[in-house]
Amino acid sequence: MTFYVTTPIYYVNAQPHLGHAYTSIAADVLARHHRRRGDDTFFLTGTDEHGEPVADAARAQGLEPRAWADLNAAKFKALLPAIGVEPDFFIRTTDPEHKRRVQQVLQRVHDNGHVYKGIYEGWYCPRCADFKTEAEIGPGNRCPIHEIELTREREENWFFRLSAFQERLERLFAEQPDFVRPTRARNEAQAFIAQGLQDISLSRARLQWGVEVPWDPGHVFYVWFDALLNYYTALGYARPGEDLTARYWPAQLHLVGKEILKFHTIYWPAMLWAADLEIPEHVFVHGFLQGSDGRKMSKSLGNGLDPFEVLERFGVDALRFYLFRDVTFGADGNVGMEAVAVRYDSELANEYGNLVSRTLAMIARYRDGALPEAGHDATLDPELASLAGEVAAAFDAVDLSGALELIWQRVRRLNRYVEERKPWELARDADRSGELDTALVTLHHGLDVVTAELAPYMPATCALVRSALEAVPIEPIPPLFPKRDR
C-alpha cells in the first residue's frame, strides 16, 4: 500500500504558530504510523508564497516579495525539527520546477476547453485571496474569517468553468461518502455544491507576484490554483532525477483546516478532472485550536498557546501528545498552558512515565536486569493483542485522538496490573518467584506493545523507552517527564 499525506502549504505572510504546527504534527503522526505498518509513505508540506497577501506583507516590510518569502519560508522550515516533524519534501511554490508544472497542467485545462475570458466583479477578501459568494459575506460586509471589510473588485480575468462540474461533484459525494471527512465537513461541502456552482476566476491581471499564464503572459494564475497544484507538482521533482508521480499520485489524504474546505473539496477535484488527472482519495478537515476561553487565539487577548513556550517548558513530545489528547481531532477545541501542565503531570508523568520507571526498576532490582525466561500473563493477552488492529482502524478513520485513547486504556490497564500483582510483595516470598517472573515479563511485553503504538505521537520518548527495554542488562532510566518549575 502507498500512503501519500499532505498538509496545506502555509502562507509566508505570517509567522509560524500553533495552528500550523498542529496540522504538520498530525500529518507527521500519520506518516510515522503508516511507515511502521510497512506502507510506502510520502509526506509533503511546504509554503505558499505567491499572491496578494504575500506581496502586500512584503511591501509593508519594504521588501521584495521574493526576499520576504525566503525569510519566512526559512522560519516555517526551521519549525519542523523543533516539533519533531520529518517530511519527505518541503515544497515552495516559488520553486522553478513547481511553476513549470503548474503551467503545464493549467495549459492542459485550457486546451481541454475549460477556460474562457470574462469580466469578474465581486466582493473580495485580500487575506483569503478569495471572492465571496453572497452566502459567504459576514455582517457589515466583512470577511467572516478575517473580519476585515471586503473590497469590490472588477477585472478582466480568465475563468475556470467550475459550473460544468456540478453533476460530477454531486456524484462524487454521493458515491464516495468518505471522500470528505468528518461528516460535518462533507455536509458543508455538499451544501455549497447544492447552491449551484459558479465559474471562478483562474487568473489575476493586476498582480505580478505569481505564476505567469502561459497563453496570456500579462496575467498570473490566481494563487489558489498555483497552491493546490503543489500536491501534484512536488512529486515530479522531490527526488532529483526521479519522478514519483506514478508511484504516489493520487494522494491518499489531504489534511486541511476547516477554513479552506471549499478549495480542497470542490475546486481541487474539478481542476484535476479538467486536467485529466486523478483526484485524491480523501480530504480530512480538522477543526480550529482556540484559546483557553474558547475564543480565537490572539496576542491582544493573551489567550493563545505559544508552541515555543510549550516546547521549552514541557518538551516536544509533550506538545505532540497534548494536541491529540486534549482536542478531538476533527472538532474545534480549546488549548492552554494550564491544560498542558495538567496532562503532563497526570498522564505523561504519573501514568506512562511511571509505568516505564517502575517496569525497568523492578526488572533491574529483582532480576539484576535480566528479563526472566517465562511466559506472560494470558489475562492481559486479549487487550494487548487487539491494540494494533484497533489503532490501525482508528488511523484509517483519521481519528488521531481516538487512537491515542485506545493506547491510553492499555497504559492504564498495565498500571492497574502492577497494583494487582504487587511485584514488591512477590519479591519478598521465594515460593512466588515464578509469579514474579510472569509479572515482570508481562509488564515488559505490555510496555513494548504500548510503546510501539505510541511512537508516532512521541517519537523521541518512545525511542528511549525502546532502547531501555532492549538493553542488556535492563537498567533504570532518569524520569521521562521530570517535574518542571512553574
Q: Which of 2, 19, 75, 406 binds ligand MSP (CB under 6 A)?
A: 19
Q: Is 445 a catalytic residue?
A: no
Helix/strand/coil for 12: coil
Q: Which is nearer to ligand MSP, 33 or 264 (CB)?
A: 264
Q: Which is nearer to ligand MSP, 228 or 310 (CB)?
A: 228
Q: Is 324 in the site for ligand MSP (CB under 6 A)?
A: no
CB 115, min distance to ligand MSP, A: 20
- Work out whether the CA dihedral 318, 321, 327, 330 comes out positive or negative: positive
Q: Which of 3, 4, 5, 11 binds ligand MSP (CB under 6 A)?
A: 11
Interface stretch with ligand MSP, choices 31-39, 148-156, 224-232, 418-426 (CB under 6 A): 224-232
Are 84 and 316 a contacting pair, CB within 8 Å?
yes
Q: Which of 3, 10, 123, 124 binds ligand MSP (CB under 6 A)?
A: 10
Q: Is 289 in the site for ligand MSP (CB under 6 A)?
A: yes
Q: Which is nearer to ligand MSP, 228 or 440 (CB)?
A: 228
> What is the contact mask toward ligand MSP in residues 42 to 81, using x (rule: CB under 6 A)?
------x---------------------------------
Q: What separation, in Å, do the N-terminal and C-terminal C-alpha atoms of the chain show?
A: 46
Q: Is 444 a catalytic residue?
A: no
Cell triple for residue 196? 449551484
Q: Please tell me the distance from the alpha carbon of residue 117 to that of residue 157, in angstroms, as a whole number.
A: 6
Cell triple for residue 177? 461518502
Point out the catalytic residue in the list 77, 258, 262, 296: 296
Q: Is 462 a catalytic residue?
A: no
Interface stretch with ligand MSP, choices 4-12, 61-69, 194-202, 439-447 (CB under 6 A): 4-12
Cα–Cα distances in angstroms (integers) from residue 483 to residues 83, 132, 313, 345, in the given order: 21, 50, 10, 8
User: Measuring CA to CA, which residue among 229, 166, 169, 225 is closest to residue 201?
Assistant: 225
Q: Which of 3, 4, 5, 9 binds ligand MSP (CB under 6 A)?
A: 9
Q: Is 438 in the site for ligand MSP (CB under 6 A)?
A: no
Q: Is 376 in the site for ligand MSP (CB under 6 A)?
A: no
What's the longest Cα–Cα distance across the chain? 90
Cell triple for residue 66? 521574493
Point out the catalytic residue in the list 33, 34, 99, 128: 128
- Among residue numbers 140 through 169, which ones bind ligand MSP (CB under 6 A)? none
| Strand 253-257 versus strand 282-286 pairing type | parallel
Q: Please tell me the distance from the alpha carbon of residue 395 to that of residue 62, in angstroms, as a whole number.
A: 45
Binding-residue total with ligand MSP (CB under 6 A): 18
Point out the catalytic residue in the list 75, 146, 258, 262: 146
Q: In what order do the strands lie in the sheet with 200-201?
A: 130-132, 115-125, 151-160, 200-201
Q: Which is nearer to ligand MSP, 9 or 200 (CB)?
A: 9
Give the residue closest to ligand MSP by C-beta. 19
Q: Is 17 a catalytic residue?
A: yes
**253 forms bridges with which residues in the sheet?**
5, 282
CB 410, min distance to ligand MSP, A: 29
Q: Please tell me the distance from the alpha carbon of residue 385 to that of residue 391, in angstroms, as a whole number.
A: 11
Within a 10 A sphere around the Cβ of 44, how many other Cβ atoms? 24
Point out the catalytic residue in the list 33, 110, 125, 286: 125
Q: Is 20 in the site for ligand MSP (CB under 6 A)?
A: yes
Q: Which is nearer to ligand MSP, 48 or 347 (CB)?
A: 48
Location of C-alpha cell 517519537: 459
Q: Is 20 a catalytic residue?
A: yes
Q: Which is nearer to ligand MSP, 20 or 325 (CB)?
A: 20
Q: Is 257 in the site for ligand MSP (CB under 6 A)?
A: yes
Are 336 and 292 a contacting pair, CB within 8 Å?
yes
Are 110 and 52 a contacting pair, CB within 8 Å?
no
Q: Please tell me the distance from the alpha carbon of residue 358 to that of residue 322, in angstroms, as a whole number.
A: 23
CB 7, min distance to ligand MSP, A: 6
Helix/strand/coil for 133: coil
Q: Which of 105, 162, 228, 394 binds ligand MSP (CB under 6 A)?
A: 228
Point out the catalytic residue in the list 143, 376, 444, 445: 143
Are 78 and 10 a contacting pair, CB within 8 Å?
no
Location of C-alpha cell 497504559: 411
Q: Please tell me the distance from the alpha carbon of residue 339 to that of residue 322, in angstroms, as a whole number.
A: 9
- The alpha carbon of 76 is separated from its chain's Cα centroid by a whole number of angstroms, namely 14
Within a 10 A sphere around the Cβ of 52, how many other Cβ atoms? 21
Q: Please tell me the distance from the alpha carbon of residue 160 to that of residue 125, in angstroms, as a whole number.
A: 19
Q: Which is nearer to ligand MSP, 93 or 359 (CB)?
A: 93
CB 256, min distance to ligand MSP, A: 5
Q: Which of 23, 94, 201, 442 binds ligand MSP (CB under 6 A)?
A: 23
Interface stretch with ligand MSP, choices 3-11, 308-316, 323-331, 404-412 (CB under 6 A): 3-11
Q: Which of 79, 109, 197, 260 binds ligand MSP (CB under 6 A)?
A: 260
Residues annotated as part of the active site? 17, 20, 125, 128, 143, 146, 296, 299
In the complex, the residues that contact ligand MSP under the rule CB under 6 A are: 8-11, 19-20, 22-23, 48, 227-228, 230, 256-257, 259-260, 288-289
